[in-house]
Amino acid sequence: MRWLLALLICTSAHAEEWWETPTTKGGKIILTTQSADWCPKDTFIAYIETSKQDSIYGCWTVSNDRIHVRYNGGFTKVYDKEGWEYKNDQR
């Protein structure tokens, strides 16, 4: 996951980049490179997009070689770092 953190440090302010993985219910989990005032320091915006196009927002970081997301609804999830697809708005 160091590659992910290294890429975040080098990210241009103009390019949007994210990683996504499908959920078991037909939606997807998105990890952005954007920060927000409602996310703790050194964390980034994450969200679940459901198959019905609803969204659940939270903040993510990498710790102990895993992706940790604390969603605004009050629950926390830990994900493996494998299986995420890199995306950007320049393709």
For every one of its 91 residues, what pLDDT tens digit does the chain have, with 9 covering 90 and above?
555 655 555 544 457 899 999 999 999 999 999 999 999 999 999 999 999 999 999 999 999 999 999 999 899 999 999 999 999 987 5
State the Cα–Cα distance between residues 89 and 80, nearest whole angstrom.
24
Within a domain: 43: yes
- The pair of three-digit structure tokens given for residue 43, joined into one six-digit string: 């964390």
Using an 8 Å Cβ cutoff, are 19 and 85 in contact?
yes
Q: What angle do CA 12, 67, 53 make, to 5 degrees?
A: 75
Within a domain: 14: no
Provide the domain count of the chain.
Answer: 1
Within a domain: 25: yes
Q: Rounded to two decimals, what is the model's pTM?
A: 0.80
State the Cα–Cα distance between residues 52 and 2, nearest whole angstrom.
33
For residue 57, what are the domain limits?
Answer: 2-9+20-82
CATH code of 41's domain: 2.40.128
SS3 53: coil
Within a domain: 57: yes
According to the model, what pLDDT value does residue 37 have? 95
* Strand arrangement, sheet containing 28-32: 76-79, 66-71, 55-63, 44-49, 28-32, 17-22, 85-88
Within a domain: 91: no
According to the model, what pLDDT value does residue 16 have? 86
According to the model, what pLDDT value does residue 80 have? 95
Within a domain: 76: yes
According to the model, what pLDDT value does residue 12 have? 47
